[in-house]
Every structure is written in C-alpha cells, then in structure tokens.
Amino acid sequence: MILALMSLLAILTGVRHHAAWPPLSLPVLGFVGATAVALFESTDVSHSLQLSAALLPGLLLFFLIAEHFPDLRATWLLYLTCSALSLGLAAALLWGVWQAGGRPPSTEMVLAVGSPILLVPNDAAFLAVLAPLSLATFSERPRSIGGLVAGLALLFSACVIILLQSRTAMLTMVAALAVAAVLLHGRKRPAVALACGLAPLALALLVDGTFGFPLVSKLVRHWDWGGNGRLPLWRAAWAMFLDAPLWGHGPHTFVELYRSYLHQLGLPTSSLVIPWAHNLYLEVLAERGIIGFIALAVLLVYGLVAAWRLQAAATGEAHRLAVAAMAGLIGLCGAAAVELTFLRQWVIIALFMMLGVIAHLTSLQTTVQKGDSR
C-alpha cells in the first residue's frame, strides 16, 4: 500500500519526460482497470486482492522502462540482468538435479532451490521466455563478459529444462529462439538463421538422448489430456465462465471452485490441490469474465503488433532489442495456452517487462523518425 501511494504521488506531482503517455499505456491501464473491477466483483475479495499484489510492481516496471529508460544502453543492461538471473537460477537448478542423484524430476527438487520464482518444474518456462534476451545479448557482443554470461545462460537453461523434463519450457524455448534467430539473421544470412533456430533443438535432443530420451517420450506419449490431466481443468474453467460470463468469479478463485465444478460435470477429482487451470486464457475467462479476457487480448495483440512493426522498421541495435522482446512475448503467449497462470509472479513481471521494452523502443523509433523527417 505504501508502494502504491508513493507511486500515485509520483504520477500526480512528478515532472513528465514526454508530452504524451508512452505507447501501449492505454491497453496496460485497460487491463489493470478490468482487473480492479473483477477484484471487487470477486466471490472472495480478500483472497483475490492478496494474490493480485504482484500486479503493482509489474505495472510500475512497465512505466519505469517505457517512460524513464533514457537510451538503448539501459535496455541492454536490462537484458544482461535477465541473462545473469537466468544463469543463476539455471545453475541452482542444475545443482539441485545433481544432488538428487538421478531421481526423476519433482516439485520437491525445484522447491529445494529456495527461490520464490521456482515452485514447480514447469516454472523453467521462465528461463525459456528470457532466452531470446540472452540470445540478443550474446549476438551483440559475443566476446565480452556480458556475451559470456548470456551464452552460459542459454546453455545452462537448455540443460536444466531438459533435465527437469518440462515439455512446456522446452517447446517455449525452441519456438522463442527460432523466432528470434530468424528475425535477427534471416534478412542477410538465412543459413545462419536456420542454424541458430535448430541449435536449441539439436542440443535438446543430444542431452535428452544421453538419458534415454525421457523428454521425447513424455512429449510424444504422455500429455495427460484425460483423467486427472488438463482437459477436466479446462472444462471446469469453461463452466465457471458460463456461470459468470461478464466479470467472472474473481481473480485467483479457480482453486476455491474447480472441485465443485468437476463434481457437477461428473469428472474425476484428484487428491492433489491444483491452484490454476493450466491455460491462462481459460483462467482469465473463468476468473475475470469476458471483460477481463478482452482486456488481456487487446493488451497482447497491441503488444505483438507494436513489436512486429518496430522490428520491421528499426535497424541495428534497436532491431535486435525489438526482436528479442517480441520473441519473448511470443513464447509467453504460447506457454500460456497450456500452463501459465497469473498466480506466478514471474509471469506478470515478464509480461510487463516485455511490453515496457516494446513501448520504450517504439518511443525512441518515433523520435528518430521525426528527426529524420525534419
């Protein structure tokens, strides 16, 4: 509450650096506004409010990057920070896997790291979402200390995703890096782009093959669509949406209601409590209704369209930075279809960070274009 109060005072009394709001501000504020209404329409306001606290630092991060980053160097430093974070988390997870002595990956193995970011093996998707930022950093200065950190972050992240056997993280990383590689090198060096796009997949197969292809087997055969898998959760989320189509039942109330909906639908329930729907879009429909879903859709579409236009128009460093943010956002949107939830703090932070970078680079590009026209 102190953070919110000081932020409001800063907005009302601070000196603005720009005459207009930064790009993407309206979709961001629309999403926050829809969330605020859904909070007060919740069936459990205190529960929803408590678990929505991460939205505030995410919002502040967006405006910090979009409005107060002075130049491209600040964005490179942000990417380097994300690379260092990825390297640290991946190294801690690798150490945990090593200490487990060959046991199958488990939630306990991830919790042993002691990071609030990592709670289940599929949280390795965070490393996959940040991978394009590391790729851009490495391709910009491969022989520097920052390039070394970014390269090791990519290598360690790929290894830990394979060892944790996270299909969501693996597919997200391959897709995000492929998009980034093609857009970074496809204009002048298509062969390099193809090689960079296939490199993470080749590394994944190599490491997975060392252990007898457990991830490939899991990827092909065991998606758990029936029984106690994802499909019953998705059906419960859809039923929740139909019962409260406008504003939903309230943010983060899925865990309180899904068992009763599974019972009404005649579907089996597991003894294990599952706090989220394993599909961010269905989760938003169930918890925030069609209004919240439209707000999220507008936010993502505007972000992706702005990123596409930006990377097409920008050159040099700005182009590489824009491609990385776009690839990370695409990876996030893809992983959201089968796993992600706003219960995870890193999902909110990564989303608003990518949008903030896109808005910041768009502002810089607009300034450059106006200067050229003069």
Q: What is the pLDDT of residues 210-264, one digit of tens each?
A: 656 555 555 555 445 444 578 888 999 999 999 999 999 999 999 999 889 988 8
- How much is the average pLDDT of 86-112? 84
Q: What is the dihedral of CA 106, 334, 297, 22, to 10 degrees?
A: 100
d(CA 83, CA 208): 24
Radius of gyration of the chain (CA): 21
Q: Is the dihedral of CA 70, 73, 75, 80 positive or negative?
A: negative
The pTM for the full model equals 0.87
d(CA 334, CA 342): 15
d(CA 10, CA 67): 13
Which residues contact residue 106 at a Cβ distance below 8 angstroms, ignoring those fewer than 6 apart? 121
Predicted local distance difference test score (pLDDT) of residue 226: 47
Q: What is the pLDDT of residues 278-330, one digit of tens each?
A: 999 999 999 999 999 999 999 999 999 999 999 988 888 999 999 999 999 99
Q: Are 287 and 249 in contact (CB under 8 A)?
A: yes
Q: What is the dihedral of CA 31, 133, 332, 223, to 10 degrees?
A: -170
d(CA 253, CA 230): 18
Nearest alpha carbon to residue 128 among 181, 173, 65, 189: 173
d(CA 77, CA 83): 10
Q: What is the pLDDT of residues 46-55, one digit of tens each?
A: 988 988 888 8
* Count of all residues that appear for the chain in the document: 374
| DSSP assignment letter at 18 | S
Instruction: Quote the tokens at residue 192.
Output: 């390099």
Which residues contact residue 352 at a Cβ distance below 8 angstroms, ignoring those fewer than 6 apart? 28, 58, 59, 61, 62
Return the domain boundaries, the chain: 22-228+265-369
Which of 10-14, 122-126, 335-339, 362-366 has the weakest average pLDDT?
10-14
Q: What is the dihedral of CA 87, 90, 92, 93, to 10 degrees?
A: 180
d(CA 145, CA 147): 5
DSSP 230-246: HHHHHHHHHHHHHHSTT
Predicted local distance difference test score (pLDDT) of residue 191: 63
| DSSP assignment letter at 15 | P
Q: Is the pLDDT of residue 142 over 50?
A: yes
| DSSP assignment letter at 70 | -
User: pLDDT category, 166, cuts 50, 70, 90?
Assistant: confident
Q: Is the pLDDT of residue 15 over 60?
A: no
The b-or-e profile of 129-154 (16+ CB within 10 A means b, else e) is: bbbbbbbbbbbbeeeeebbebbbbbb
Q: Are 360 and 22 in contact (CB under 8 A)?
A: yes
